[in-house]
């Protein structure tokens, strides 16, 4: 374990020795996407990055339902992750979400809408400012961003908008895990006559009000988002507060 | 080298077989005057052209009743030709058991005769039919050429149905979809169960409500226990002389929903649920891994919403 940590440190140091912007030392995009240079420029703002297998993105190779592609981002093998940006090269809206694991693991499970087959990536920014990029390819029939939400065809969500259900596990194999679901149509704005309407911020705090994780959420996150994260060896209640792009807010207490 | 050439030749000849777009439909007589076209227990692809479904027909004294029309215009036409080789009586009614595409996309070939279904099936075909058809064009390719959605217009209701001098009984059930018709032929004792029953093929669940489906299986099971049913025609898989396919469909559905409920209660996320191995008894079941993956997508969100709803949020 210590050897692994030392190796990781050495690797990280090697990475730092590479001047930002020199593509040859970083290696080619492991996913071979023709869009990668654009991604680096626009989403990573041209900042230093390295492809890094320690940032794991898990999703099905073949996603049956483009409206609901399960994604698990695990950057816990990296030290001191400040921020994780998740995006899809070929989605009409590139950014999916961004999370700041302030006092949680750098781990997040959720679902995403994909418009077509695409690399699905996570870039984890460590304390030294370098983005560590991992990803996987997802094949799908597509259309996930331009199909209406189920919510847009019923009125149930209007009554239950921003309703949160959640559970926290404090023992057993899932000890430390928190899962929450928020009712929201997450309309992308890409369908004529249905404006963008989506959650944009969610913060989880512990009982004392200390922030655990902050999320910035964009349109491609699936309808009625479900998030899975780890708060580690803390128990007690949680506070979940958020708002959507129309200014609707919520602030709930999740009892243990 | 010789072996390679042989292998290549084999590929070419297989491709040639597929290119003639002939489903090679051969009616299987399951009772006097009752025939079934048994499809493959596969998923849609460009080799089978969507012939993965069972359709059938009953020759009544004055004409023919068709049960489901298959996955494409070509299938519907070839089915009608195959029926004409058995009888020269006219088709009097074509029934769609439910609104899934492999059961109604052959309707065009029967557009000159009454097309019947439960009311809910008409609504389903009208609203979702085009999206289904697009999906089959993608999966089955040119086999689908010229196929367009035709919505049945004659509404069938539960109860006795006399067509062409033959006494039938319509069962209006649900659970596989929002409306699943089963058809019982009183004279022969043949029960067309539609997709409420799968035989040696993993069930599909895009519109499933499992509790309702299980209740419908109870109804069918009771019919078989009553002794009147001599032949059970499942929507997919071999025709059966007993209730075993009902039991196996129930077994899969109970395992599936129980396993997803347990996973949701334990707090597993979708990727973790997808990674769970299938039980040993389903290792040899055709398309089980693919249907399990799809069913997780269809059923887990609702089950998980219930499980999270049991938490304490104020």
Q: Is B114 exposed, middle or buried (0-12, 13-18, 19+ CB in 10 A)?
A: middle
Q: Do A224 and B310 touch (CB under 8 A)?
A: no
As a three-state string, the secondary structure of B18-48 is HHCCCCCCCCEEEECCEEEECCCCCCCCCCC
Number of domains in chain A: 1
Residue pair B185/B165 in contact (Cβ under 8 Å)? The answer is no
Res A153: pLDDT: 64
Res A197: pLDDT: 95
Tell me whether residue A79 is in a domain. yes
pLDDT tens for B224-262 read 999 999 999 999 999 999 999 999 999 999 999 999 999
Q: For A73, which residue in chain B has the nearest alpha carbon? A: B271
Paired residues of A132 in beta bridges:
A50, A124
Q: Do A164 and B313 touch (CB under 8 A)?
A: yes
| A vs B: CB pairs below 8 A | 76
Res A25: pLDDT: 57
Residue pair A129/A240 in contact (Cβ under 8 Å)? The answer is no
pLDDT tens for A74-109 read 999 999 999 999 999 999 999 999 999 999 999 999
Helix (H) or strand (E) holding A111: strand A107-112
CATH of the domain at A86: 2.60.40.2470
Q: If you write DSSP's letter for every residue of A130-177 in order, what string do you get? A: -EEEEEEEEEE---TTSS--SGGG-SHHHHHTT-EEEEE--SSTTTTE
pLDDT at B10 over 60: no
Res A140: pLDDT: 87
Q: What are phi and psi of B123, to 5 degrees?
A: -65, -40
Confidence of residue A151 (pLDDT cuts 50, 70, 90): low
Task: Name the average pLDDT for chain A.
Answer: 88
Helix (H) or strand (E) holding A241: strand A238-244
Instruction: State the residue for tokens 């695990």.
Output: A74
User: Smallest Cα–Cα separation from A98: which of A246, A199, A245, A190?
Assistant: A199
Q: Does the complex come out with an ipTM higher than 0.90?
A: no
Among the partner residues B269, B271, B311, nearest to A165 by beta-carbon distance: B311
Q: Do A253 and B138 touch (CB under 8 A)?
A: no
Tell me which residue range forms the domain holding A165. Answer: 26-254
Tell me whether residue A113 is in a domain. yes
Mean pLDDT, residues B100-109: 97
Res B310: pLDDT: 80
Mean pLDDT, residues B180-208: 97
Domain residue spans in chain B? 17-242
List of chain B residues whose C-beta atoms are within 8 Å of the C-beta of residue A65: 294, 297-298
Q: Do A109 and B307 touch (CB under 8 A)?
A: no
Tell me whether residue A15 is in a domain. no
Q: Which residue has the higher pLDDT, A233 or A228?
A: A228
Paired residues of A211 in beta bridges:
A205
Tell me whether residue A229 is in a domain. yes
pLDDT tens for A17-43 read 444 445 545 778 999 999 999 999 999
Tell me whether residue A191 is in a domain. yes
What is the percent of chain A with per-residue pLDDT over 70, rounded to a whole number? 86
User: Smallest Cα–Cα separation from B148: which of B93, B94, B82, B76?
Assistant: B76
Res A2: pLDDT: 43
pLDDT tens for B259-300 read 999 999 999 999 999 999 999 999 999 999 999 999 999 999
Q: Does B227 touch chain A (CB under 8 A)?
A: no
User: Given this structure, which CATH class describes domain B17-242?
Assistant: alpha beta
pLDDT at A15 over 70: no
List of chain B residues whose C-beta atoms are within 8 Å of the C-beta of residue A255: 311-314
């Amino acid at each position: 374990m210590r050897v692994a940590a030392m190796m990781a440190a050495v690797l990280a140091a090697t990475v730092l020795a590479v001047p930002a912007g020199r593509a040859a030392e970083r290696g080619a995009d492991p996913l071979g996407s023709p869009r990668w240079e654009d991604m680096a420029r626009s989403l990573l703002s041209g900042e230093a990055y390295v492809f890094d297998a320690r940032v794991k993105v898990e999703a099905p190779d073949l996603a049956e339902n483009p409206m609901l592609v399960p994604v698990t981002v695990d950057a816990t093998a990296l030290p001191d992750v400040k921020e994780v940006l998740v995006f899809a090269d070929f989605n009409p809206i590139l950014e999916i979400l961004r999370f700041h694991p302030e006092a949680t693991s750098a781990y997040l499970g959720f679902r995403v809408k994909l418009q077509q087959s695409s690399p699905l990536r996570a870039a984890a920014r460590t304390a030294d400012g370098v983005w560590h990029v991992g990803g996987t390819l997802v094949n799908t029939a597509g259309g996930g961003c331009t199909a209406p939400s189920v919510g847009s065809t019923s009125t149930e969500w209007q009554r239950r908008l921003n309703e949160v259900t959640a559970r926290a596990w404090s023992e057993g194999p899932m000890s430390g895990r928190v899962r929450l679901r928020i009712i929201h149509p997450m309309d992308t704005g890409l369908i004529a006559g249905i404006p963008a309407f989506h959650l944009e911020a969610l913060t989880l705090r512990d009982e004392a009000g200390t922030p655990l994780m902050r999320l910035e959420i964009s349109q491609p996150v699936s309808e009625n988002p479900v998030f899975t994260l780890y708060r580690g060896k803390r128990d007690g209640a949680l506070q979940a507060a958020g708002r959507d792009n129309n200014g609707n807010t919520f602030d709930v207490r999740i009892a243990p | 080298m010789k072996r390679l050439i042989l292998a290549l030749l084999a590929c070419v000849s297989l491709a040639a077989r597929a290119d003639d777009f002939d489903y090679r439909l051969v009616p299987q007589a399951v009772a006097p005057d009752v025939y079934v076209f048994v499809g493959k227990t596969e998923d849609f692809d460009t080799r089978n052209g969507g012939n993965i479904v069972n359709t059938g027909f009953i020759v009544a004294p004055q004409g023919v009743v068709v049960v489901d029309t298959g996955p494409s215009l070509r299938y519907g036409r070839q089915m009608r030709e195959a029926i004409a080789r058995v009888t020269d009586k006219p088709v009097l009614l074509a029934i769609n058991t439910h609104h899934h595409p492999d059961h109604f996309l052959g309707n065009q070939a029967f557009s000159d005769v009454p097309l019947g279904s439960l009311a809910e099936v008409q609504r389903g075909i009208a609203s979702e039919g085009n999206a289904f058809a697009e999906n089959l064009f993608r999966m089955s390719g040119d086999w689908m050429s010229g196929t367009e959605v035709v919505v049945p217009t004659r509404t069938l209701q539960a109860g006795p149905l006399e067509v062409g001098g033959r006494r039938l009984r319509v069962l209006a059930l649900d659970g596989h979809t929002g409306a699943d018709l089963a058809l019982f032929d009183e004279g022969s004792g043949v029960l067309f169960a539609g997709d409420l029953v799968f035989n040696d093929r993993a069930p599909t669940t895009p519109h499933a409500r499992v509790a309702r489906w299980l209740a419908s299986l109870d109804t069918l099971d009771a019919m078989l226990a009553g002794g009147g049913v001599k032949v059970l025609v499942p929507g997919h898989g071999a025709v059966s002389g007993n209730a075993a396919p009902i039991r196996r469909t129930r077994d899969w559905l109970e395992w599936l929903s129980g396993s997803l409920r347990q996973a949701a209660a334990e707090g597993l996320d979708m990727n973790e649920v997808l990674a769970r191995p299938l039980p040993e008894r389903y290792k040899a079941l055709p398309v089980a891994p693919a249907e399990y993956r799809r069913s997780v997508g269809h059923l887990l969100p609702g089950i998980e919403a219930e499980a999270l709803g049991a938490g304490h949020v104020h």
